[in-house]
Structure 1
Amino acid sequence: MCITFLLLINYAKLLQQKIVIKVTGKGPKSRSKALQIAVGLSGVESAGLGGEDKSQIEVVGDGVDAVQLTNLLRKKVGYAELASVTAVGEKKEEPAVQPVDWPVYVGGMPQTYIYPIHPHQDPSCSIM
């Protein structure tokens, strides 16, 4: 039972996604309202403000509908633009590629063939 529960937790972490939505608000009150709307959706685990001027809402969760969240923010806060949706999971480090050291081939001496040479061959032509 405990192992199954741990496997489900690890599997749920692999399915998480990070949604970034640009919101133009008139002040901190509209940003706070946008965060309350984002946290109110089911499946949201964390939400926060991001970007240089804190105009982006970063939502991390499992099974969060990014389009639905963007439409809710457009209706209740104002202009909202879906910037990115990325999968959040464990980063797997790729094993370093090790170069293969091939053995050095050293060419040997070429093989010589020995042919018998007969210095005094009988002439096959009798006319000469």
Structure 2
Amino acid sequence: MKKIVIKVEMPCDRCRSKALSLVAAAGGVLSVALAGDARDQVVVVGDGVDPVRLAGALRRKVGPAEILQLASQAKDEGAGGSNAPAPAPGAPAQYAPPTAWHYYQYPPPVSAVCEPPAAGYEDSICSIM
């Protein structure tokens, strides 16, 4: 989960309401709140929220906005969280190809592991050639 704090110029209550409804309608947002002494900061908590797009939408619809803070929050481990270890930093991500392909997409290349020929055989055992 991400916690994002965005400072937005909101001079009136109508602007605050507009900013809150705009942020709440974004995909992946779990909660939205106002913060700061002047109530000029929007605090967003959610999964899969893009802070750059969110700030851009606030700039277009409400007024000048800047991202103040990005933070990751740890999920509650006692609430049925998975105990799978996190991948090491710099480790390649596991890729699972999609099951369906569109006509304009090319399927991924097929990788084959060929073994050297066994003793007494002249041809390779590799079946893809």
- Shorter-chain TM-score: what band? 0.5 to 0.7
Q: Work out which of the residue numbers 6, 13, 29 in structure 1 matches 2:14.
A: 29
| Residues 67-126 of structure 1 deviation map (CA, whole Å, 9 limit, x = unaligned) | 00000000000111111110011589xxxxxxxxxxxxxxxxxxxxxxxxxxxxxxxxxx
Partner of 1:83: 68
Match of 1:72? 57
- Equivalent in the alignment of 2:38: 53
Structure 1's unaligned 5+ residue stretches are 1-15, 93-128
* Pairwise CA distance, 1:29: 0.7
The superposition leaves residues 22-73 of structure 1 with CA deviations (integer Å, 9 ceiling, x where unpaired) of 0111211101100000000010000010111111000000000000000000
Indicate the RMSD between aligned Cα atoms, in angstroms.
1.5
Please report the TM-score for the alignment, with normalisation by the length of structure 2: 0.57
Matched position secondary structure for 2:5? strand
Q: Which has the higher contact order (CA 8 A, sep 6+)?
A: 1
| Greater C-alpha Rg | 1
Between the aligned partners of 1:90 and 1:71, the Cα distance in structure 2 is 28
Percent of aligned pairs with the same residue? 43
**Structure 1 ranges of 4+ moved more than 3 A:** none
Gaps of 5+ in 2: 78-129
How many residues get paired? 77
CA distance in 1, matches of 2:76, 2:6: 23
Q: Looking at secondary structure, tell me which structure has more helix per residue.
A: 1
